[in-house]
Amino acid sequence: MSASSGKPIIGIDLGTTFSLVAVVRDGKPQVLPNAVGEKLTPSVVALDERNQILVGEAARSIGVLAPERAQALFKRDMGTNQLRKLGDRTFKPQELSALVLRALKHDAEVALGTEIDEAVVTVPAYFGDAQRQATKDAGKIAGLKVERIINEPTAAALAYGLASRNREFRAAVLDLGGGTFDVTILEIIEGVIEIQASAGDARLGGADFDEALTAHVAARLDLDQAFIGPVGWARLREACDLAKRRLSFSLSAPLSLAGLVLANGGQRDVELEITRAEAEATWRGLLERIRAPVLQALSDAEVDPSKIDEVLLVGGATRMPCVADVAATLFRKLPLRHLPPDEAVALGAAVQAALKSGDSALDDLVVTDIAPFSMGVEASTSFNNRLVTGVFSPILERGTVIPASRVEHYTTAHDFQHKIVLNIYQNKHTMCESNTKLGEYTIDGIAPAPARSQSIDVRFTYDLNGILEVEVSMVGTNRKEVFVIEQRPGKMTPEQVGEARAAMAALKLHPRDALPNTTALARADALHMVITGPRRADLAAAIAAFRAALESQRRDDIERARAGLNHLVEVLRQ
């Protein structure tokens, strides 16, 4: 319970492709069901035919049927000014994420029977300051207080640590979700979880494997995206996603598409077989990208792979055998999945929420975290009597245990300098132009003096939410200035957040009580477009039966037909 409101604090895994909400009950974390009784909510927002906003599985299915009416993968744009179009409106990434958060908040309130106003939300370890602030903005728009942000692999470590708090071991957590990849090296000793290093790739996930396989199949069929159009490409991608899932437990998978509409108005039936070896050859470049972050994390932690006791796989994309093979090769041991890969991060977020609320059942559990990036300022230095500018001067190094506060000493670079422009960057390159700029701050009113005679101390304080505070002190004076970096791409002002909340309240949202029927029908229609033969005829019959039940308006008939349709869809997707 929140100490201030007495209401539960929920944990949210705000994923690129799927999101979940969880809570701790009786000392154990559990994922809460959404409006259609499932644990995973697709991170997709769409408009139905009546211009009502849909979130989740129904929205994902609309993305197959009418991709121009759906938006997905917007988490990758968090912290930017990128706009997405939906109907006659444009949305910022924070606003689309807020719609997902709002749906999860509502699901939690129904499941728990109480109002929710606070959440712990997870982000990829390699999310920078701008992306973390954007996540907090999304929470505010959704009506959630998000004081605590936690790295996804750290959340997974919490979930594993809760289940293994009486053991001592060092582990590597490999988290490959729908859109991002993180690896964390950690050690668990008597309930204390010490994060030792994190690395990752913010643009590597299951969605990239889908796109690579789709491009490969299109080339094999001598088709290109322009020729089959956005609807055809969406259908082909859905068929490839189904094939990818089947290849996780089979050496080959059929891929069928009936009546693939071409841009010239013609149609083409697609029937082919994809082998696991063929798919893995297509993914070779993506699989190779897993190696660099793993080796980076091991190097930062100063740990040899042989000293890792357990390799823990997290994220739905780790179900692919080729991912487990890469992990086994790197660590020379079989990776483990003690917790459901899709749920581990949400379960850990719930544990962090319980810790924040002071749950006595978790008194013996402690977690430390680290800064994933080096952060510093732009400086200049002399080399062979020449002034070199644009040099990155780190103040707080990556791998530093947080919360942390570090200070560095600087002097003026020019004679009679009357101001200092403090440019603040994050990343690891020696030159600022290759790093990410977080913001800048100007210090005016410096007394003119020769170069290097005026000094300042710059202190960086980095908290557990990944928020950076900067303190500047003029040496020899009482002048001190403290600020939090505010001028970031995608950062919303309080006024903009308020406007976004008002706009969300005015949106025509699909009624929640009708969502199970809408979702069942949209999911079945989307699948109907990507299967062929007798299976397609069986599905068409089930869809017709469900539509007839809806027309009858008899609840028992509707629930019976919906259950039958959902079961058939699950069978056909296997």
**Parallel, antiparallel or unpaired: strands 455-462 and 404-411:** antiparallel
* CA–CA separation, 406 and 422 (whole Å): 16
Asked if 240 and 214 count as a contact pair (C-beta separation under 8 A), the reply is: yes
Exposure letters 221-250 (e unless 16+ CB within 10 A, then b): bebeeeebbebbbbbbbbbbbbbbbbbbee
CA dist list (Å): 462 to 151, 204, 396, 471: 14, 26, 8, 11
- The one catalytic residue in 95, 107, 175, 210 is 175
273 labelled catalytic? no
User: What angle in degrees, to the nearest 10, is found between the helix axes of 129-141 and 93-112?
Assistant: 50
* CA–CA separation, 173 and 79 (whole Å): 26
* Tokens 């979702």 found at: 519
For residue 560, the SS3 value is helix
Structure tokens at 365: 């559990």
* Tokens 């929420």 found at: 353
Q: What is the CA radius of gyration of the chain?
A: 26
Structure tokens at 146: 């998000």
Between CA 208 and CA 205, with CA 436 as vertex, the angle to 5 degrees is: 15
| Farthest CA pair distance, the chain | 88
- Please report, for the chain, how many H helices and E strands are present, in that order: 14, 27
* CA–CA separation, 227 and 521 (whole Å): 29
* CA–CA separation, 339 and 437 (whole Å): 38
107 labelled catalytic? no
Between CA 174 and CA 182, with CA 178 as vertex, the angle to 5 degrees is: 25
Size of the chain, expressed as the number of residues it contains: 574
152 labelled catalytic? yes
CA neighbours within 13 Å on the CB side: how many for 178?
22
Strand segments, DSSP code E, in 124-201 are 145-151, 168-176, 181-189, 192-201
* CA–CA separation, 108 and 31 (whole Å): 9
For 194-231, what is the HEC assignment? Answer: EEEEEEEECCCCHHHHHHHHHHHHHHHCCCCHHHHHHH
Structure tokens at 472: 């500047």
Structure tokens at 6: 């007495």
Residue 502: burial class (beta carbons within 10 Å; 0-12, 13-18, 19+): exposed
Asked if 227 and 262 count as a contact pair (C-beta separation under 8 A), the reply is: yes
In what order do the strands lie in the sheet containing 401-402?
310-314, 168-176, 181-189, 192-201, 366-370, 401-402
- According to DSSP, residue 509 is labeled B
* CA–CA separation, 140 and 405 (whole Å): 27
- The one catalytic residue in 77, 107, 129, 152 is 152
> Which amino acid, residue 191?
G
- The one catalytic residue in 57, 75, 107, 342 is 75
342 labelled catalytic? no
Task: Just list the catalytic residues.
Answer: 13, 75, 152, 175
